Chains A and B, each alone.
Chain A
Amino acid sequence: DVKVTQSSRYLVKRTGEKVFLECVQDMDHENMFWYRQDPGLGLRLIYFSYDVKMKEKGDIPEGYSVSREKKERFSLILESASTNQTSMYLCASSSDRQGDGYTFGSGTRLTVV
């Protein structure tokens, strides 16, 4: 069964901490994405990557960075966590065939206190 695995389902971090969210896919997909999902705001794209070591900003990149050193792994980094980064974070991957859509991970619910 193909899947996208996010390293943590729930995380609680303190304000100012550096936070790493890890995502691994086993489908050999070229494209990987990080979204955050908040009530009333829907899914918002933070960063995405079309290839190893390549990254592009999405709609809300401020306060985040990413790393893609290997094709199967895409990491989201919160440089200095703040309370307004409390959210559900979703990782997704896709192939280069547009009609195939995204495969999402189960999400990481991050709370910053």
Chain B
Amino acid sequence: TQLLEQSPQFLSIQEGENLTVYCNSSSVFSSLQWYRQEPGEGPVLLVTVVTGGEVKKLKRLTFQFGDARKDSSLHITAAQPGDTGLYLCAGPFSGTYKYIFGTGTRLKVLA
């Protein structure tokens, strides 16, 4: 069974701090994606990582795909209140177009 576990579940930090969120699985994924969901809205795709070891940057957000393609991390530098939200990782269920979603990390950045 393919599962994606995220840690930490909850994170509350001050504006300007750095943080890292993790997404782990015992299964290999062909790709992993990160979404951010703001309260009352649907998740919005941030990035897709495809190659083992790949690093992608989106302004202050850095995404990394593990070498073995079983895990991924999201690092935020100098967090801002606008980064507040639920961060979800997701990967395609083996051989299908259906995605498995991680358990989520709820981030709150305090001004």
Chain A residues close to B by CB (< 8 Å): 4, 30-31, 33, 42-43, 45, 48, 50, 58, 90, 92, 94, 96, 98-107, 109
Contact = CB atoms under 8 A, between A and B. Distances in A.
Nearest to A94: B97
B42 A50 contact: no
B25 interface: no
A45 to B, nearest CB: 7
A4 B30 CA distance: 25
A98 B30 contact: yes
B42 A99 contact: no
Nearest to B40: A107
Interface residues of B, number: 22
B80 interface: no
A50 B97 contact: yes
Nearest to B103: A42
Given A99-B50, A102-B35, 10 more contacts: A4-B42, A33-B98, A92-B42, A101-B35, A102-B43, A102-B45, A104-B42, A104-B44, A106-B40, A106-B41
Contacts of A99: 31, 48, 50
A98 B31 contact: yes
Interface of B: 30-31, 33, 35, 40-45, 48, 50, 88, 90, 92, 97-99, 101-104
B42 A105 contact: yes
B97 A107 contact: no
A107 B31 contact: no
B50 to A, nearest CB: 6
A109 B40 CA distance: 8
The 6 closest A-B pairs by CB, nearest first: A104-B42, A43-B101, A101-B45, A101-B33, A31-B97, A99-B48
A45 B31 contact: no
Given A92-B42, A107-B41, A43 B48 contact: no
